[in-house]
Amino acid sequence: MKDDKLNRIFDATLSLTGKVGIAGLKMSSIAKEASIATGTLYLYFKNKEDLLNALYFKLQKESAPALISEIKNLPIDIQLYKMWALALKKLVENNLRIIFLEQFLISPYVSASSKEMDSRFKNYLKGLLEKGKKENQIKDVDSNILIALVIGFLRNFSTHIVNDKNSKLSEKSIDESFALCWEAIKR
């Protein structure tokens, strides 16, 4: 019951961020979109900053970590493929995540702890890539560059799929896009 209301609040916030950006977010609009009273928001969150940071934590926790636990013992290329496929599906399923995540991190609302959390997924990826380099599977290039390529592509590609009415995320397009990605970074 309580969870349901929380989810409605988060969904409303994501949805509105996609429409008006974080710049246009109003507490009253979030409440309206979530079909609750404005005051109720303040039973769940201390203030607007608190709400936005909570949503950020939730989104972060759902994506990277959720993937990691399922795949951490597979070979590197398979692991990267699974991550690619899963991340892409999740992002395309709700592209609003990306929009929110990107806007949030340079908004006046980010808390210190949110900033710290930003690198969780990147750090896991970095470890994976370092291991791949040692095992001669991955090019010996600064991991940060490799990560920029992988994440940048992931982000832009999912946005493209969502925005382009003619595109859909098929198994073929997942494979095709991963192939490009892998070819770029593999030794």
Question: Given the rule CB under 7 A, which residues bind DNA?
Answer: 1-2, 5, 25-28, 36-43, 47-49
CB 10 within 8 A of CB 55: yes
Q: Is 147 in the site for its own copies (CB under 8 A)?
A: yes
Q: Is 99 in the site for its own copies (CB under 8 A)?
A: yes
172 vs 178: CA distance, rounded Å: 10
146 binds, among DNA, its own copies, none (CB under 5 to 8 A by kind): its own copies
58 vs 76: CA distance, rounded Å: 27
Q: Is 17 in the site for its own copies (CB under 8 A)?
A: yes
Selected from 7, 20, 72, 127, the binder of its own copies by CB under 8 A is 20
57 binds, among its own copies, DNA, none (CB under 5 to 8 A by kind): none
Q: Is 40 in the site for its own copies (CB under 8 A)?
A: no
Q: Is 81 in the site for its own copies (CB under 8 A)?
A: no
Q: Is 146 in the site for its own copies (CB under 8 A)?
A: yes
CB of residue 47 to its own copies, shortest distance in Å: 15
Selected from 164, 165, 168, 171, the binder of its own copies by CB under 8 A is 164
CB 174 within 8 A of CB 88: yes
Judging by beta carbons within 10 Å of its beta carbon (0-12, 13-18, 19+), is residue 76 exposed, middle or buried? Answer: middle
Of the two residues 57 and 182, which places its CB atom closer to its own copies in the complex?
Answer: 182
**What are the contacts of 4-7 at 24+ separation with CB within 8 A?**
5/34, 5/36, 5/40, 5/44, 6/44
Chain mean position to CA 4: 22
What is each CA distance from 2 to 11, 44, 59, 143, in whole angstroms?
14, 9, 18, 42
Residues that bind its own copies (CB under 8 A): 17-25, 99, 102-103, 106-109, 139, 141-142, 144-149, 151-157, 159-160, 164, 167, 173, 176-177, 180-181, 183-185
